Structure 1
């Protein structure tokens, strides 16, 4: 099984999970659940944070990023959240292995599954899911 990948999403993930909110409406609040998180980081100085953009017209329900050298998918990085169409979220795709090439897989509410291979997360800052 692969090492856990840490999610750095913060407010962007929560906003994506609840859709967009106007400046005049109150921000949705959810109860934080204690989570034991082990932050793993490669020591090579590369930034592996990637903003995932959902431009498919469908809601993304699952997102996986796994080292291209292995055959197993990691846990769903969205967890219990979703990423609405037109929304984006920044994720830390660093599993501590020093890998730069990752395979991405996303699932959507309509049953579609889009898989992309050998994405160099050390060289990109944004990744766009389109149909």
Structure 2
């Protein structure tokens, strides 16, 4: 009977941990491959109609620079829409893209 209780407890712990692992943070490197300052970066899971908060906050990403991005929204999804905004006066328009961030190690925004 003790072995059965141990097995049930171990199984319950495994399934709890498996649920936590599926909601891991998504991390990737974002590189600005343009000649303009990237001022805002937004992301939202595909199918969500609103953009999440600006990931940069008060930071910017200058041309040629890279930054590690972590999306820790607790969702167990991989496909995200991304929106990039550039400094005022830039020749670049706001750009959007969709990527599977679970498979993405790095992303470079180009002109």
Whether TM-score is above 0.5 comes out as yes
What TM-score results when the alignment is normalised by the length of structure 1?
0.63
The answer to whether residue 100 in structure 2 is matched with residue 120 in structure 1 is yes
For 1:44, the equivalent position in structure 2 comes to 22
Alpha-carbon distance, 1:48 to partner: 1.3
Match of residue 85 from structure 2? 107
Looking at structure 2, the residues matched to 54 and 62 of structure 1 have their Cα atoms a distance apart, in angstroms, of: 12
Q: After the TM superposition, which segments of 4 or more aligned residues of structure 1 sit over 2 Å from their partners? A: none
More strand by share: 2
TM-score by length of 2: 0.74
The structure in which a higher percent of residues are helix is: 2
Q: Deviations over 1:98-117 (max 9, x none)?
A: 01000010100116211002
Query: Could you tell me which of 57, 62, 70 is aligned with 2:35?
Result: 57
RMSD: 1.6
1:20-79 CA distance string (max 9 Å, x none): xxxxxxxxxxxxxxxxxxxxxx63275610101100110000000111121100111000
- Map 1:76-87 to 2 at 5 A: 76-87=54-65
Partner of 1:25: none
Unpaired segments of 5 or more residues in structure 1? 1-41
Q: Between Structure 1 and Structure 2, whose CA radius of gyration is higher?
A: 2
List alignment gaps of at least 5 residues for structure 2: 1-19
